[in-house]
Amino acid sequence: MPQVLEFKLPDLGEGLTEAEIVRWLVEVGDVVAIDQPVVEVETAKAMVEVPCPYGGVVTARFGEEGTELPVGAPLLTVAVGSTEGDLPGDLSSTGAAGAESSGNVLVGYGTGAPAARRRRVRPEAISAAAAPAAESATVPVMASAPAPEPVPGPVPDVASGPVAVVSPLVRRLARQHDLDLRQLTGSGRDGLILRSDVESAIRAAVNGTAVVPSVPIPVPVPVSPTASGPAPVSAPVAGERIPLRGVRGAVADKLARSRREIPDATCWVDADATELMAARAAMNGAGGPTAGPKVSVLALLARICTAALARFPELNSTVDLEAREIVRLPAVHLGFAAQTERGLVVPVVRDAQSRNAESIGAEIGRLTEAARTGTLTPAELTGGTFTLNNYGVFGVDGSTPIINHPEAAMLGVGRIVPKPWVHQGELAVRQVVQLSLTFDHRVCDGGTAGGFLRYVADCVEQPALLLRTL
């Protein structure tokens, strides 16, 4: 009696949650083979041909070309014939009957085979059970070594269980080079077969070396140099191992998330900071009753940033992925990168848009001291909307910093050094700095980012421009 099995859109990996149907490769009524590509879909990362793990007749398709489906939504149904007698109810509902499914799985879906069929069985047991199984018309489903009906291609490893494959691209690469995935040992987590495993097997085939079979093996243990036999499949990497925890772990997680989620771009410009340095010297050299605390270069650059963000509010925003909205933030909470003995931290100056250079400098000084002593509170390290990164203190001119997630931009400042510069039509030695802006391309285009950076550079070269906003 034929069974109608439902094939759902699998998890295509890398955190993708939906895909758009680009082109159907089969029609209703077509006969499909096991692992035959049935639809071409487009994700946020690539175009993928999705293979069906069942062989039979297509009875229905779900979704027209151009339709976007979430992972787990039905793609099509396939009517397959039962190879053995009546199937138990749990198998008929999941649709993983004997030889009608490939056994290969993608992340998030499978052929639904019961746990007993996933056990690794020794080849001797398979060959011993194959002969009596062929003489019997009905074989218990839970038998330790069931005999599937003959299918094209190699048979001995069919009963060794499903193959864990992360992506359809890996399966297609193996199919193009006539590789049996059941003969590969996955180097990924929980034995997942990765693209690198397939590529290694292809190279091994070209060089005439054998492919290591995908069978349970003991955990590799150190062996003496005189021991015989092949080397362990994967040896631990030599060297000092430092756990990613604490500040280092938090920084690693945040930077990795920023790289995954934010499509960033960087633009930069050289600016003549001679006038800015002269203005700072004048501020700090004032005496008498008008004298105040010293103003740092970082404080002046922070004040320039708040003025630039008032002109270009697109860069003081964040992206709400769930709502698919850009959220422009009313207040500027300015973060600044600070290197401490415990690692990189980014303290936040609250409401920087309402502060002058002196107030911003005083707050930067207080937060820097707290960072050095390790007394910063969580509230002082979170909630930033824009970050200023003065990597010039490390003696470098430029950088392409990673955005501090979930912010939308970061201004980088290199060292200020004497350089030849054309000033008022003549070559002169001036104090030059390189400024770089890394921004989230989702919130604005290059014109906005360029306008912001140009305004910052103009204020560095002509600090009097800030008088307009005081």
What residues are annotated to the active site? 441
Closest to 69 in 3D by CA, of 17, 14, 7: 17
Extract the runs of DSSP E, i.e. beta strands, from 143-218. Answer: 163-164
Q: Would strands 334-336 and 386-389 be described as parallel, antiparallel, or unpaired?
A: parallel
- Cα separation values, 7 from 29, 61, 227, Å: 15, 10, 49
Closest to 2 in 3D by CA, of 89, 90, 95, 94: 95
Run of H or E including 5:
strand 3-8
Closest to 59 in 3D by CA, of 2, 19, 14: 2
Closest to 52 in 3D by CA, of 65, 66, 62, 64: 62
Closest to 331 in 3D by CA, of 397, 411, 386, 264: 386
- Cα separation values, 436 from 71, 282, 330, 398, 402, Å: 39, 27, 24, 7, 12
Question: Measured in whole angstroms, how far is the alpha carbon of residue 235 from the centre of its chain?
Answer: 26
Provide, for the chain, the percentages of residues in helix, strand and coil under a 3-state DSSP scheme, each rounded to the nearest 5.
35, 25, 45
Give the whole-angstrom CA distance, residue 231 versus residue 219. Answer: 13
3-state secondary structure of 268: strand
**Both structure tokens of 211:** 């492919």
How does 140-174 read in b/e, with b if 16+ C-beta sit within 10 Å?
ebeeebbbbeebeeeeebbbbbbbbbbbbbbbbbb
